[in-house]
A and B are shown apart, each in its own frame.
Chain A
Amino acid sequence: MNNIQNVSRRGFLKGAVAAGTFVLGARLVPEPLWADILNDAPDLFQPGIFLSIASDGTITIVAHRSEMGCGSRTALPLVVADELDADWSKVKIDQAIGDAKYGDQDTDGSHSVRSFFDQMRQVGATGRVMLITAAARKWRVAEKECTTEPGFVVHKASARKLSYGELSAAAAKLRVPRKEDVPLKSRSEWRYIGKDNALFDLPDIVTGKATFGMDAKMPGMVYASIEHPPVLGQKIKSYDDKAALKVRGVKQTLTIETFKPPHHFQPLGGVAVIADDTWAAFQGRKALKVNWDTSPNAVYNSDQFRKTLESTARQPGKVVRNVGDVDAEFAKGGKIIEAEFYAPHLAHASMEPPVAVAEYRDGKVLAWAPTQSPQAVQETIASVLGVKKEDVTCHVTLLGGAFGRKSKPDQVAEAAVLSKQLGKPVKVVWTREDDIQFDFFHSVAAMYMKAAVGPDGKPTAWLQRTAYPPIGSTFDVNAKYADDEMGLGWNNLPFDIPNHRAENGPADAHVRIGWLRSVANIYHAFAIHSFADELANAANKDSVQYLLELIGPPRIVPLKAEPDEQEEQKRYPLDTARLRRVVEMVAEKSGWGKSPSGKGHGFGVAAHRAFLTYVATVVEVEVDEKGQVQIPNVWTAVDTGTVVAPDNVRNQIEGAANFGASLALLSEITVTNGVVNQSNFNDYELVRMNSAPKHTSVYIVESDAPPAGVGEPGVPPFAPAFYNAIHAATGKRIREMPLSKTQLV
């Protein structure tokens, strides 16, 4: 069924744009005539976008995904512009508000381009066909005699051309062609896709004009800083704001009720200091005295919890994948190798802390926020304030980093709650301390690995168990198993081993758990690829050669797929040929094996598929006599299918090496009696220019496979490749993240 229509012809956007503007919408719902589609296929994926061409030639493309630095706000409009044959320099981008008519707007899971690539092509190509039709009618020539060049329809035979702006009014009157009558460009005809294009917002970013959430303003707004309960779930017993109210610029204090479990994305609760500016609000907060009630989460001590998790990981858990019979193989005796791995909580620590502006008026809410998910803002505010979702308007600013944190809009709901009490717009600004202490934390995790090894050094059986508090605990207080995280590198081991079992054990959550860039892939890849390297060492084999042997011959790995995963699995089968290729590529580019490891100098390798992208990384380390570690080089080969913006892919993968270096070397969140011990960049450390990898080289596999994820997949292989390099350099096997927990000398 054709699902693109000329909405201006039907007056859909009447009043929204100037008359005569050519507006093209894709799957714009809800819309009366589309009801049949909705009824026929209630599960239909219904993202929406539209483009409009004004008579002055300005092309406006709606970006319905959030921009947090991964580039989708540029990449998707670029795809539309390419198929439209637009002049990119004349394109304006409109950031969409949160609205179900756009379909999924939750910008996470590295899926903006892969989920919307085909649709954006279709939108652009449909516009192009209609502009050609409009020109052909004007010239009274056949459509097939017409072609386009950026911004123009051209009739070569008569040397005539008309700009898209000149044609927009006529095109607006046309019927939308059927999908089968809309030719897409061949890959060789792409002008922008696959070429090096800059981020749309680059000029504004380098001049300080870009508007992030921190920069959003509303007339008459006041500023708020909130003292949150130190332990998750605590309520206010009493509080004393006398000193706070004496602080210059402080107007008043207000309370926010503590959420009722499950916490979902609700406000944590607490005491808000309202002031004339951010600084006064911060100062007033320092002068507050709050007595907190108790919370069952005060029992949480991450040191003790580690022991619980490790013990769980040693026990049989829920089987999430089973091939052959590992128990029978282990029972045969022979060489058995076991290992345990542990990874701590992490905080997202995006450079822009959580922040939002919101105004409640007459039962409606208007918000400006750096959010990955404007529809989650609508839903959360609607649920917290008891208003209709449609009555919450959420504008999306640029995000100063996000990494999954800003999918959760608790701070936007705080602003709305306070605005309702105050009757004026409120800007809520979290301090860095708030950000680090009250995050939705990346989970702690314990992994237990066991292999039986044959005479050739290859495993005949491989058992892996993992245990950690699941993200599902955000939505369900009883969630103990990480069902949703198993696909993140645990139930899809791509190794050629006759007997294999993957298990997951139960765990309780006592802090908010959330997804952080590449999520469970981080600790899963850490355990799997550290263990693989350990087996290679035990077999006295080269790590790259051994890894290729583990991956085995080129094949499609048979995996179970839930009904909602089958389409994706068909389109993106787990193909070991592609995994082998990135390993071989990174080995070649890094000069693997040419420089011997040992004596404080070493190379390590890991290869992992995440978000449907195949990534192999080689890390080089130097360890001096004091145990100080330098990373002279990181080489990464990536096969992410069709690439829209290659330089952006390189930038993302380079960034992933630095993100990976932070968590592999330095970062750790610990909790004592339910209270997070870290608070700012002095004790929650990230790599800086002098501790980051010196050089990062990225190699992209040329591919015409469907596009896959880019923002996250570079992260998981870094830590194991790095630790394997540490082992090669020093003989020390790292079983615990981050490296700072291990004395190297």
Chain B
Amino acid sequence: MIRFTVNGTERTYDGDPEMPLLWYLRDIAGFTGTKFGCGMSLCGACTVHQNGEAVRSCSVAMKELEGTSITTIEGISATGLHPVQKAWMEIKVPQCGYCQTGQIMQAIAFLRQNHNPSDQQIDEAMSGNLCRCGTYQRIRAAIHQAAKEMA
């Protein structure tokens, strides 16, 4: 039996210990804001937080969750929007939107480490997250704006 929390709620799991967190979240727990894109940590669409750090949920096995806390896009803000989500709306970042929850989760974790990032630091931090629609320039602008708001 593996014990952990998702968005603050305690959970237990006794299924296949090799199942990636992604599929537990999507198919079993019903947190579908976390997306499947590649299954190999190549695209970042499945990014969630484990103990506050960004991880690719497609590559974290359930057996690695014992005692950890997981946050998904659904749990990022109990009251309204996180400043990063607000910036995403103001800059009107999304096109299709599929990768954007992963982008937002990556950006939130990054901004906890770096409160005033340069363009280059943002590019490095975000280059694991693909966007096929091509919203990279808006993502960068939204991260700058969120950093300002959070300062």
Q: Which residues of A contact B (CB under 8 A)?
A: 67-71, 196, 198-199, 201-203, 205-212, 214-215, 223, 248-249, 277-280, 282, 349-353, 398-403, 429, 431-432, 647-648, 651-652, 654-659, 661, 680-682, 686-696
Contacts and interface: CB of A to CB of B under 8 A. Distances in A.
Contact of B140 (A67, A203, A689, A691): A689
Contact of A658 (B16, B20, B136): B136
B61 to A, nearest CB: 10
The 9 closest A-B pairs by CB, nearest first: A208-B33, A658-B134, A400-B98, A69-B96, A205-B97, A655-B134, A69-B95, A208-B73, A279-B23
B134 A208 contact: no
B104 interface: yes
B149 to A, nearest CB: 15
A432 B92 contact: no
B92 A682 contact: no
10 contacts: A69-B96, A205-B100, A207-B33, A214-B98, A352-B96, A401-B98, A654-B134, A689-B136, A689-B139, A689-B140
B74 A278 contact: no
A223 B27 contact: yes
Nearest to B22: A279
A198 B74 contact: no
B27 A350 contact: no
Nearest to B120: A690
A265 to B, nearest CB: 21
B94 interface: yes
A688 B127 contact: yes
A651 B89 contact: no
B11 interface: no
Nearest to A697: B137
Interface string B52-76: 0000000000000000000011100
Contacts of A68: 96
B117 interface: no
B132 interface: yes
A651 B38 contact: no
Given A203-B89, A208-B72, A351 B43 contact: yes
Given A277-B27, A432-B42, 8 more contacts: A198-B92, A199-B94, A209-B33, A214-B36, A351-B43, A351-B99, A689-B126, A692-B134
Contacts of A248: 15-16
B19 interface: yes
Contacts of B28: 277
Contacts of B129: 688-689
Interface string B74-107: 1000000100010011001011111111001000
B32 A206 contact: no
Grouping DSSP codes into helix (H, G, I), strand (E, B) and loop, the B interface class, with mixed when no group exceeds half, is loop
B138 A214 contact: no
A210 B126 CA distance: 22
Nearest to B33: A208
Nearest to B62: A279
B6 interface: no
Interface residues of B, number: 57
A207 B85 contact: yes
Contacts of B45: 351
Given A429-B36, A681-B38, A689 B127 contact: yes
B130 interface: yes
Interface string B117-147: 0010011101111111111111110000000
Contact of A686 (B97, B100, B122, B132): B132
B137 A696 contact: yes
Nearest to B74: A208
A280 B95 contact: no
Nearest to B142: A206
A432 B122 CA distance: 26
B40 A401 contact: no
A656 B35 contact: no
A282 B58 CA distance: 13
Contacts of B38: 432, 680-681
A352 B136 contact: no
A70 B134 CA distance: 12
Given A353-B36, A400-B97, A689-B122, A202 B127 contact: no
Given A198-B92, A431-B39, A656 B134 contact: yes
B118 to A, nearest CB: 12
A215 B16 CA distance: 22
A410 B8 CA distance: 40
Contacts of B20: 279
Contacts of A651: 92, 95, 135, 138
Nearest to A651: B95
A282 B19 CA distance: 11
A399 B15 CA distance: 31
A206 B94 contact: yes
A278 B132 contact: no
A277 B23 contact: yes
Contacts of A196: 92
Report which residue of B37, B98, B137 has the largest number of chain A beta carbons within 10 angstroms of its beta carbon: B98
Given A655-B133, A689-B136, A199 B40 contact: no
B123 A681 contact: no
B95 A352 contact: no
A400 B35 contact: yes
Contacts of B36: 214, 278, 353, 429
A212 B98 CA distance: 8
Contacts of A71: 95
Contact of A694 (B40, B95, B119, B135): B119
B23 A659 contact: no
A279 B16 CA distance: 10
B94 A352 contact: no
B96 A681 contact: no
Contact of A654 (B34, B119, B138): B138
B112 interface: no
Contacts of B15: 248-249
B84 to A, nearest CB: 9
B34 to A, nearest CB: 7
Contacts of B37: 351-353, 432
A362 B122 CA distance: 54
A429 to B, nearest CB: 7
B132 A654 contact: no
Contacts of A696: 137
A403 B132 CA distance: 9
B26 interface: yes
Nearest to B90: A198
Contacts of B119: 694
Contacts of B42: 432, 680-682
A349 B32 CA distance: 20
A698 to B, nearest CB: 10
A701 to B, nearest CB: 21
Contacts of A206: 81, 85, 88-89, 94, 100-101, 104
B80 to A, nearest CB: 10
B92 A202 contact: yes
Contacts of A201: 97
Nearest to B134: A658
Among B38, B42, B88, the one with the most A-chain Cβ atoms within 10 Å of its Cβ is B38
